[in-house]
């Protein structure tokens, strides 16, 4: 993949402030703060808020995203917080899933087509070390009734049932749907219908 600007996300991130803010996702923060630092994978890392927060806690962070602008802003945030991380420009379909590598994987609002999602979820088991955890927060189908962000295509939204079916290789500690009030920059604001998942290999 060429390292050139051109992703639709580049257009969205091409602004001075951070679209989803600089603070980590609330559920991600809650869960990652309870774990001993190790190596974490953050796909679709965007402008880096979750990846940088993990690095601040001492995690060895490998993040990736399609957006060159997102990467630039992620490193700007990392410099502000005086942390380091690896951040690649990469499409999830090009990721090679190194086996038994990560102590945690974090997917915050990472919405994929059903076919690609199944492939990704099937491979997440491989990259986690035994005892490694997966943290997910995503919009569920009820989000179509709200105006706080997320895809307008129902096939891209994720239900509790989908996670239970497609992550059977992991042991779910938590898997539930919930209505919350989002306040993440200007990108996610207001009532939201989400699904949250915390599972272990």
Rounded CA separation 161/177 (Å): 10
Q: Which whole-number Å values give the CA distances from 98 to 32, 40, 124, 200, in the listed order?
A: 21, 12, 10, 17
Domains of the chain by start residue, with CATH = 8-200 (3.40.50.150)
What pLDDT digit, counting tens, does each position of 93-151 carry? Answer: 899 899 999 999 999 999 999 999 999 998 888 999 999 999 999 999 999 999 888 89
pTM equals 0.92
pLDDT, tens digit (0-9, with 9 covering 90-100), for 162-196: 999 999 889 999 999 999 998 776 677 789 999 99
* Percent of all residues in the chain with a pLDDT value above 70, rounded to a whole number: 96
How many alpha carbons lie under 13 Å from residue 196 in its C-beta half-sphere?
16
């Amino acid at each position: 993949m060429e390292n050139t600007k051109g992703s639709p996300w580049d257009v969205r991130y091409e602004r001075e402030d951070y679209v989803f803010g600089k603070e980590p996702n609330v559920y991600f923060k809650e869960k990652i703060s309870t774990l001993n630092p190790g190596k974490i994978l953050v796909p679709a890392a965007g402008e880096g808020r979750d990846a940088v927060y993990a690095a601040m806690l001492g995690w060895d962070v490998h993040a990736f995203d399609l957006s060159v602008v997102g990467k630039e802003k992620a490193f700007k945030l990392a410099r502000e917080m005086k942390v380091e991380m690896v951040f690649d420009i990469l499409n999830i379909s090009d990721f090679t899933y190194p086996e038994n590598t990560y102590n945690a994987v974090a997917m915050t609002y990472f919405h994929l087509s059903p076919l690609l999602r199944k492939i990704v979820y099937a491979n997440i088991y491989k990259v986690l070390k035994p005892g490694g955890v997966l943290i997910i927060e995503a919009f569920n189908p009820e989000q179509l009734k709200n105006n706080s962000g997320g895809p307008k295509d129902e096939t891209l939204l994720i239900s509790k049932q989908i996670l239970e079916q497609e992550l059977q290789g992991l042991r779910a500690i938590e898997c539930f749907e919930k209505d919350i009030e989002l306040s993440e920059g200007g990108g996610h604001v207001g009532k939201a219908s989400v699904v949250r998942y915390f599972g272990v290999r």
